[in-house]
Chains A and B, each alone.
Chain A
Amino acid sequence: MLLSDCPINSKCEIVSINLPNDETVRLCELGLGKGTKLKVCQICPFGSVLVSKGTERIGLSSGVSNLLEVKRV
């Protein structure tokens, strides 16, 4: 399933990133690589998603959350 489809408060793990290579590298540099565990905290107006990763709170625009495949954990 896509990250954008996950309900609020659900926990998930990134299984694949459907972005061009350069952007996948940047996403990994930002701490969002394959295997990263996230919790969906909030679905914002216009489709952006707020997730938590440990102490971090990360906002992902709808363009990114639609390209991250995740599995529920």
Chain B
Amino acid sequence: MSKTIALVGNPNVGKSTLFNTLTGQNQKQVNAPGTTVTVAKGYWRDKTVIDLPGLISFIHNSIDEKVASEALMDKKNSLYPDLIILLADAMHISRSLYLYAQLKQLNKPIIFAISMADIARKRNIILDTDLISKTISAPTILIDSRDKKNVRLLEDLIYKTLNEIDISPKKGSAKGSDIEDESVSDLSLWAKKNFENNVKWVGQIEKRIGVFDYDKITLSDKVDKVLLNKFFGVVFFLLVILLVFQLSTHLSFPIIDYIDGPIRNLVNSSFKKLFSEGIWQSFVQSTLIETFFTLLEFIPPMFFIFISLAVLEGCGYLSRVALVFDKLMQAIGLEGKSILPIIIGFGCNLPAIKATRVLKTSEIRKHTAFIIPYSLCSARFSIFIVLAHAFFPENAGLIIFLLYLISVFIILLISFAMKKIRYFYNKRYNIPQANISNLVIHLPVYQMPKFAFILKSSFAKLQNFLWGAGRVILGVLICLTFLQSVSFTSDGVVGGSLEQREHNSLYNIIANNTALIFIPAGFGDWHLSQAIISGFLAKEVVLGSLENSYSDNNKSLSSNLQTTLEKTAADSSYSNKATPIAAFSFMLFLLIYIPCLATVIGIKSEFGLKYSLVSVGVSLVLAYIISVLFYQIGILFVG
């Protein structure tokens, strides 16, 4: 049977970097047994490598720590390892020694790998690995996780240790000299009882190995004086975000234009030549090609956002962001770093969902991902510009600004509500509340990110997304094509000409009937309900759908929309003054209900089907309630 190696360590010691270097692209995200906490699983040669969530102690303080400690303690757990690599940061070695004091009670072979060796060298900090190894009775190695050559030394040590287990299972086990050496069945209880002893033991070991008192002002400290300045820290963060947006849009827009223009036309015309007009051409064109281009258009912005985030994380700035915004985000139940995906969400929701990976605990990741779809993304912005000019030509700018404020308000409101729900849920089921480790952040030293490594990990993330999302988008588009292609005439006959089929399609029948639901919200018209259904795929489609539905007359879209809402108001016996109320109600619905299929799939792939369905359900109900309330209260004043 293949041996399992677990990478264990405190948060931010470089476990994921080492994991990526060891496994390359040969990895996937799996859910820890019985939870939604994701654990990275990969393969190094014929061995399975598990990157466990960050662990400070077996006295677990979050669901992620619980998952990590259970995986290490429970032999029946699918993640249970044969070998533990305990990764320690050369700058913060004491915390890892504390974890080691607990880990060695497992009687498992442990390799003590000290990362950030390059930084320690630059600061003239000499770590005597032989002395550490002898003192703690575990093989010890200094590594730079980002350097493949350097990691080879670790690979040799892994082989040697695994061979020792094969020859003599007891020989590879870690043994301590100062703490009783029995195997402990519940390490959490043991850790609580022996907390003070373990702290003392770490103090003794520190004295023996000479953990350094380093009081020099480093370059990192000087950079922090600027980036974390009390007055300019936030300004600097906003400039960084602006730079990320500018880079990702300026670099990706020309590529998207090229994909959407010449390449799309070329592919479409080639397929038209290959297939004669009919259901097959319709299937290939509206399903396969649409899926292909929907995914293709997401690639450039997602890729540049992934790279930007990896650079910010790699250089050490993201941890500082967490510190700066901690107080602000704590108020709504989040942690400092959550500000980053939320802001990215105002550009595009999908990369923002993926960006929640920078958050360390699954609880906070899920919470952040839940509120991201309410941010007014650039796709919604493009619809609102047209709709605001159509309905409120005098005050279009003000309306868009108002929608931005509403978007921020809804995010704060939902987040605050979730904080309260989480508090009562955790209290009821005895789950630890937000823990202190979120409030105490060990800051890594600033360092130059390795671009080859960043490119490789960004490509891997993109590949995962394309494979995961592509299949689901294709499936949904096949269903939609089916609904659009199958039509029933009044006498129940299936078929007819292409135009008849489109007109009597199941899709149109569903859209027409859905319009009835929206009567209380003031926009109960089939043109608008069809646009809302199309908007489920992508918000950019809404305008196309509206234009398409009015294609049988020569009026402008603005005048068609005005006429539609006036007619809807008249049908409900309201005056024309109700039209702007209905228009804003329609815009509110577009703002609040799910952003697009790709985002929903993004949530599904990160947090599971159940969570994505809850997210969709809540957004639909909330959008409906708010738009109905707004319209009904509004017409009391003008109707």
Contact = CB atoms under 8 A, between A and B. Distances in A.
B327 A55 contact: no
Contacts of B328: 46
Please indicate which of the listed interface residues A27, A29, A43, A63 has the most CB atoms of chain B within 10 Å of its own CB.
Answer: A29
B436 A19 contact: yes
Contacts of A47: 327
Interface residues of B, number: 49
A47 B231 CA distance: 11
Contacts of B224: 41-42, 50, 57
B304 interface: no
Interface stretch (B318-326, B521-529, B565-573): B318-326
Interface string A17-34: 001001101111111110
Contacts of A43: 230
A32 B228 contact: no
Please indicate which of the listed interface residues A19, A30, A62 has the most CB atoms of chain B within 10 Å of its own CB.
Answer: A30
Interface string A52-73: 1011111111111000000000
A45 B229 CA distance: 7
Given A44-B230, A46-B324, A63-B439, A30 B95 contact: yes
A16 interface: no
B233 A57 contact: no
Nearest to B221: A41
A56 B436 contact: no
Question: Chain A interface: which size bin?
Answer: 20 to 34
Contact of A42 (B125, B211, B228): B228
B56 A61 contact: no
A61 B330 contact: yes
B213 interface: yes
B319 A59 contact: yes
Interface stretch (B159-167, B178-186, B440-448): B440-448
Please indicate which of the listed interface residues B233, B435, B437, B440 has the most CB atoms of chain A within 10 Å of its own CB.
Answer: B440
Contact of B323 (A26, A27, A31, A44): A44
Interface in B90-105: 91-92, 94-95, 98
B330 A58 contact: no
Contacts of A41: 221, 224
A59 B441 contact: yes
Contacts of B425: none
Nearest to A64: B439
Interface in B316-352: 319-320, 322-328, 330, 336
Nearest to A23: B436
A29 B57 contact: yes
A58 B442 contact: yes
Contacts of A28: 195, 199
B326 A30 contact: no
Contacts of A64: 436, 439-440
Contacts of A23: 435-436
Please indicate which of the listed interface residues B199, B225, B436 has the most CB atoms of chain A within 10 Å of its own CB.
Answer: B436
B228 A50 contact: yes
B63 interface: no
A25 B59 contact: yes
B436 A45 contact: no
Nearest to A32: B440
Interface string B210-233: 011111000011001100111101
A33 B123 CA distance: 26
Contact of B214 (A25, A54, A60, A62): A54
B98 A29 contact: yes
Contact of B199 (A33, A58, A59): A33
Nearest to B214: A55
Nearest to B220: A57
A58 B443 contact: yes
A46 B229 CA distance: 11
B234 interface: yes
B94 to A, nearest CB: 5
A30 B199 contact: no
Contacts of B322: 59
Please indicate which of the listed interface residues A27, A41, A43, A62 has the most CB atoms of chain B within 10 Å of its own CB.
Answer: A41
B61 interface: yes
A62 to B, nearest CB: 5
Nearest to B327: A46
27 contacts: A25-B59, A26-B61, A28-B195, A30-B436, A31-B92, A31-B98, A32-B440, A39-B215, A42-B229, A44-B324, A45-B229, A46-B328, A47-B327, A48-B324, A48-B326, A52-B221, A54-B211, A54-B215, A57-B220, A57-B442, A59-B320, A59-B323, A59-B442, A59-B443, A61-B327, A61-B440, A64-B440
The 8 closest A-B pairs by CB, nearest first: A59-B323, A59-B441, A61-B439, A46-B327, A45-B233, A55-B214, A61-B326, A57-B443
Given A50-B224, A57-B443, 19 more contacts: A26-B56, A29-B98, A30-B56, A30-B95, A31-B95, A31-B98, A44-B324, A46-B327, A50-B228, A50-B323, A55-B123, A56-B91, A57-B224, A59-B443, A60-B439, A61-B323, A61-B326, A61-B440, A62-B326
